[in-house]
Each structure stands twice: as structure tokens, then as C-alpha cells.
């Protein structure tokens, strides 16, 4: 990324609280800021990570948090977890409930458990008037059925990896979608094709760090500053300027998450 270009970016989904960053978290945040990343949203994936996400957000002015429970761990969900998450969402820098949803690709928790937890956490978001960060993998039909039945108004589909029909369904419901550095992979032409047709005012950028490092960095730890490389790739794919992508996706993220 050309640092002489005055752009502002937001990494809308990463896991900065993970132990991969315990030795150099300050440096990771500083690198992000130096590469035009204005804000980082640290996403909770279970009760412990949600607690850590809130703590990281409290330490850094540029970091916000979400709290949630990943569908992989649905089998470990309990009313005690609900209580902890209910307390965490009251923290001033918590912007959403997530990541939550369904994952039938790895099926690490039974489907019935996943659905039950998903609905319960949707209710938590609705009680607190917060949007949701949605994880959906190979579970499009059930995901949409639950979102519609629970009348979810505000959601962002994290790490969009589905097809054009699911995209259309999500956009029709008023949701946002988010793309990660996996659009840089040689095998991801279908995602690049999807990216070309998403309205510029309906998508955000994320790293999902420490996962999904961009092409050229695969095998290494991903981190929030790579969202600047993602923004440039998006600009190339869509045939627009880096400044246009940065401005639009930053405004989209601020609007969705309520960042003022």
C-alpha cells in the first residue's frame, strides 16, 4: 500500500486476543495504524475469547470488540455462558454480538445444538439492540430460515464464501457482507466474481487474523495491517481506486457497527 495516499481502513473482523499475538500485540496494533487502519474490531468466538476481546479493546483506543460463541463450540454452550455474555455486551466498546451462526462444513457440534445457540444469541443481540456478526458455512438455507423467522434486521456475513444466490438473499434482507484476504488465492475466482457485483455500499473488509493470510504471506500469521493489501486487491478487481474502496468500506463499517 502506498503510505503517501491518505486512506482510512477498518479491519472489521480479527482475533487480536488470540495467543498468536501475546508477544507483540502492541507492535501489531502499531503496524496497523501505520498502514492506514483506523479501527480494528476484535471478534469474540467463545466466552473466554469474548472476555479477552473486551480487555484488548479497553487497552487500545483504536480497537473495538464483539462478543459471541462460534458454532463449532455450540455443544459447550450453557446458561452460565449466556450470563457472562449478557454482562459483556454492556461494556462501552462492544459493538455487536458475534461471531454466531451455523457451520455444517466441519460439524464440530451437532446441528440441533448449533441452531439452539444461534437463536439464543440472536435474542441477546435483539435485547441489547446490537447487530450480529454472522458465521455461515455450508448452512445457507438453515441460516436464512432462522434469520427470517427471528426477524433479524442488522447482520453482516463474515468471510463471505458462498454463491450469488445467497448473496442476493442477504442483500435483499438488508444485510452487509464482508470479504477476507482469501480473495487473493488462485482458487478463489468465484469470490472475485461475487465481489464484482456487490454494491459498493454493502460490503466491508476483514482479515480474520491470525487466519487467511493473503497470497504471498500464506503460512505466516495474518494481522490487521494486511487489510491494506486486501483493499488494494479489491480496487484492482473492481477497477476502481484504492481511495474509493477505502472510503466506501470504512463508511459502511462505521454505519453498520455504529462507530462515530
124-135 pLDDT, tens digit per residue, is 999 999 999 999
Structural domain contains residue 2: no
CB 138 within 8 A of CB 164: no
Q: Which residue has the cell 439492540?
A: 129
Mean local confidence (pLDDT), 155-165: 97
Q: What is the DSSP letter of 44?
A: P
Q: Is the pLDDT of residue 4 over 70?
A: no
Give mean pLDDT, residues 131-149.
98
Any domain includes 3: no
Give the model confidence (pLDDT) of 39-87 as tens digits: 999 999 999 999 999 999 999 999 999 999 999 999 999 999 999 999 9
pLDDT of amino acid 5: 53
Residue 67 is assigned to a structural domain of this protein: yes
Question: Is there a domain that residue 163 lies in?
Answer: yes
Domain containing residue 113: 9-257
% of the chain surpassing 70 pLDDT: 98
Residue 92 lies in a domain: yes
Question: Residue 156: beta bridge partners?
Answer: 133, 176
Read off the pTM: 0.96
CA separation, residue 184 to residues 161, 181, 224, 230 (Å): 13, 6, 16, 8
pLDDT in tens, 39-48: 999 999 999 9
| Interval 215-254: pLDDT, tens | 999 999 999 999 999 999 999 999 999 999 999 999 999 9
C-alpha cell at 64: 473495538
Determine, yes or no, domain membership for 43. yes
What's the structural domain count of the chain?
1
Beta bridge partners of 77: none
Give the C-alpha distances (Å, rounded to integers) separating 151 from 71, 113, 174, 195, 206.
Answer: 20, 20, 11, 26, 26
Place of cell 448449533: 114
Q: Buried b vs exposed e over 52-70: b needs ≥16 C-beta within 10 Å?
A: bbbebbeebebbbbbbbbb
Does the residue 65 lie in any domain? yes
Checking if the pLDDT of 27 tops 50, the result is: yes
CB 228 within 8 A of CB 207: no
CATH of the domain at 58: 3.20.20.140
Residue 106: per-residue pLDDT: 87
What does DSSP assign to residue 30?
A: H
Within a domain: residue 20? Answer: yes
- Residue 2: per-residue pLDDT: 45
Per-residue pLDDT tens for 93-119?
999 999 999 999 988 999 999 999 999
Grid cell digits, residue 182? 482469501
Mean pLDDT score of the chain? 96
* Residue 69 pLDDT: 97
Amino acid at each position: 500500500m502506498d503510505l503517501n495516499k491518505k486512506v482510512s481502513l477498518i479491519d472489521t473482523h480479527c482475533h487480536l486476543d488470540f495467543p498468536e499475538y501475546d508477544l507483540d500485540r502492541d507492535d501489531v496494533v502499531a503496524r496497523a495504524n501505520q498502514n492506514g487502519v483506523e479501527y480494528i474490531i476484535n471478534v469474540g468466538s467463545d466466552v473466554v475469547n469474548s472476555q479477552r476481546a473486551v480487555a484488548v479493546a479497553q487497552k487500545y483506543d483504536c480497537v473495538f470488540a464483539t462478543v459471541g460463541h462460534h458454532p463449532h463450540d455450540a455443544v459447550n454452550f450453557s446458561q452460565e455462558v449466556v450470563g457472562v455474555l449478557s454482562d459483556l455486551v454492556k461494556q462501552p466498546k462492544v459493538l455487536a454480538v458475534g461471531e454466531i451462526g451455523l457451520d455444517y462444513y466441519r460439524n464440530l457440534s451437532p446441528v440441533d445444538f448449533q441452531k439452539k445457540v444461534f437463536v439464543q444469541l440472536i435474542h441477546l443481540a435483539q435485547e441489547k439492540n446490537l447487530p450480529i456478526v454472522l458465521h455461515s458455512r455450508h448452512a445457507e438455507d438453515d441460516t436464512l430460515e432462522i434469520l427470517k423467522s427471528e426477524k433479524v434486521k442488522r447482520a453482516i456475513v463474515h468471510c463471505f464464501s458462498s454463491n450469488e444466490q445467497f448473496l442476493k438473499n442477504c442483500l435483499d434482507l438488508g444485510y452487509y457482507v464482508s470479504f477476507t484476504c482469501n480473495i487473493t488465492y488462485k482458487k478463489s475466482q468465484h469470490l472475485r466474481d461475487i465481489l464484482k457485483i456487490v454494491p459498493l455500499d454493502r460490503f466491508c473488509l476483514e482479515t480474520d487474523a491470525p487466519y487467511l493470510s493473503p497470497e504471498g504471506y500464506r503460512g505466516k500469521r495474518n494481522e490487521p495491517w494486511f487489510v491494506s493489501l486486501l483493499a488494494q486487491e479489491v480496487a484492482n478487481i473492481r477497477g476502481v481506486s484504492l481511495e474509493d474502496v477505502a472510503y466506501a468500506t470504512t463508511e459502511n463499517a462505521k454505519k453498520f457497527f455504529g462507530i462515530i
